[in-house]
Structure 1
Amino acid sequence: MGELLRDWRRRRRLTQLDLADLAQISTRHVSFIETGRSLPSRAMLLRLADRLDVPLRERNQLMTAAGLAPMYSERSLDHPALHEAYAAIELVLYGHEPHPALAVDRHWNLIAHNRAVAPLLAGVPDFLLARPANVLRASLHPEGLATRIVNPGEWRAHILHRLRHQIDTTGDPVLQALYEELAAYPALEEYDETELPSSLHVAVPFRLRSELGELAFISTTTVFGTPMDVTLSEVAIESFFPADAATAQAMRAFGASLAPDDPAQGRMRDGH
């Protein structure tokens, strides 16, 4: 447990003194916990994990390593206890139409999406959409969306930067393996990651050639604010908004073609 705690402290670039100040305990106490000379109570371990912003899954690992029972449940999204939470996810996805929105898990595997995602995925081979379909892999794979992305260098740099940040935050080896896989894909366009986006951008745009024409989106990420379940804490909803007037018009026209009485038509649940 002490080794795990020390790893999280270093990952957050904090000294023992920094953590002691944040947790309002002595530096000696932090040192004793990290070296195994002192075993913290559940309350103390939760306080330290909170100050270090340790994800719920890894908080459970700390508890187990300290000989304590895990604090947070982990249920599948189809569990009755998470029914209302999943209903909220679907409400956000469907309510975002005619614009694309999708829900992903901790490793960027697709959980569900609304009908406006379908035009974006047209032409993506089945092996990239087979469960569990990974949206980052489908985006950057040379047989996926990569050849249809108008700004492939910029978008690739954005994805890899975001993934590196997530790895730094969580220390997840699965994300590290995903990063190495994506980084090994051939770059379709040279791009200096130190370059600043154009001053015309308010965010890094996702530009794609599609059956609806050339589309440009900016995205937002939504997470549950106070999750107490591991699975729920790792769900993120990616919502795409038109980045220009042409995209807004194209998506409005697409939305007009959708059947208003069948919100589930075209929606995909990936294993939940």
Structure 2
Amino acid sequence: MRMDEATAAYLRHLADVRRLSPATVRAYRSDLADLATSLPDLDVGDIDLEHLREWLWRATNRGDARSTLARRTAAAHGFFAWLTERGIVAEDRSARLVAPKRGRTLPRVAGVEPLREMLTSMAAAAAEGDPIALRDHAALELLYGAAIRVSELVGLDIADLDSERGAARVLGKGSRERVVPFGAPAARALDAYVVRGRPALAARAASPPSALLLGARGGRIGVRAVYELVSRTLAPIVGAERVGPHALRHSAATHLLDGGADLRTVQEILGHASLGTTQIYTHVSSERLLATYRLAHPRAER
């Protein structure tokens, strides 16, 4: 269902069934119109948590008040709960949506060394030859090495890999296709998985799968499985109870800028339509630089 159709039906429900005041319905209409403007080419079934989070981050960075952000978060919760109840979408993608706080618009970024240690540990486990361990190592290396979204990761087919060039073709937001590079560690993890892990998993499927990353039963891996994998391996590094795959994308973007990458290059790698979205990461890099300075410079003491 298109966003405008779903919004119109939901607003009728608020006015006619729940009998909310005209002012409240107008506020919901404004909030959902803003969401529709930020996601012009997507049906409601294609909108995921990542889309909703980026919508709120953009609102935060253009200076929307905290009360506005809280209201828009509530509007999204109500809208997607209704869509789920009506069976228009399979699951409520807004359930874990939280209004961003001022000054903290991004998840925590993992340090380079802790990430390297974690990935090295995953490589050692994969070296034992277990198909799931090989797949998990490849998934983490690709999420971080190519800075891709979880939806782009699970949507990859085996034909989308270009091992010789060290690149993958992904389908991003608004069905925009782009080619993303990845480094030698990701290439080695992918090679090991494709040669030693994927055939064992593919053998469990009823028909030959096209997906690159396969689940335990041989079908395409799901987003939830990737969330669980990342939370299990990354949460201890960033000091959080739970963390999603987007934290690896944030970490990759921040590390690219810390390493001197051009902002527009990072924009292309991330697949951001607007440079303004990418500029969020410059704030993270600046904060890290200032923190390092204050810890290391002998004249930093105030």
When normalised by structure 1's length, the TM-score is 0.32
Greater relative CO (CA pairs within 8 A, separation 6+): 1
The structure with the greater share of residues assigned to strand is 1
Q: Please give the TM-score of this superposition, normalised by the length of structure 2.
A: 0.29
